[in-house]
Amino acid sequence: MKHPSSRAFFAYWDKKRGAARAPDRADIDPAAVRGLLGDIFVLSCEPNLGFPFRVAGTRVCALAGCDLKDQSFAALFADASRSEIEEITTIVADEALGAIAGVTAAREDGSKAYLELLLLPFNARPHTPVSVTGVLAPFDDECGALSAFTLTSWRYLHQPEKLLPRAIRKLQVARGLMVYEGLR
């Protein structure tokens, strides 16, 4: 992660998740990340609607040149990157795996702007809508409204699985052959 907003939000998200794969949506306190709110967004996991924005910070909306609430996240991207960003967002939600991406976009004068995109999952709970949070931050403060967002690079943030204390105790008292699904 290169952008300070991405690093700060990831550190907060990682602290909130503790031993879990992802934190609950209710665990994220906007007051704790007040300085980052302009760069933060929350997406609804509805692939058929292009992952609509539930919430988008003021700086994210300024980058798109409009209020993004209920607008398609995938529609921000150029046709060549749209299916790829939809696949990445789906994997972040389904696999509870973060992703970081380099993004370029076109400024009004035709020049390129460089941004960093961080996508992080929330813990999926029964009877609650699945959502993804993240940061979209430009490296240049004076970008203006941008269009034709294009993925230039991306990777998943593989974190080693954290064993819960209960699982460790079970492993210590196990005798003979025992198979625990999901533990490696």
pLDDT tens-digit profile of 122-132? 987 776 778 99
Given a cut of 50, whether residue 169 has pLDDT beyond it is no
152: left (phi over 0), alpha (psi -120 to 50) or beta: alpha
Domain ranges, residue 150: 4-159
Contact predicate 41/59, CB 8 Å = no
CATH value at residue 79: 3.30.450.20
pTM for the complete prediction? Answer: 0.83
Given a cut of 70, whether residue 161 has pLDDT beyond it is no
Contact predicate 42/51, CB 8 Å = no
Please report whether residue 41 resides in a domain.
Answer: yes
Please report whether residue 179 resides in a domain.
Answer: no
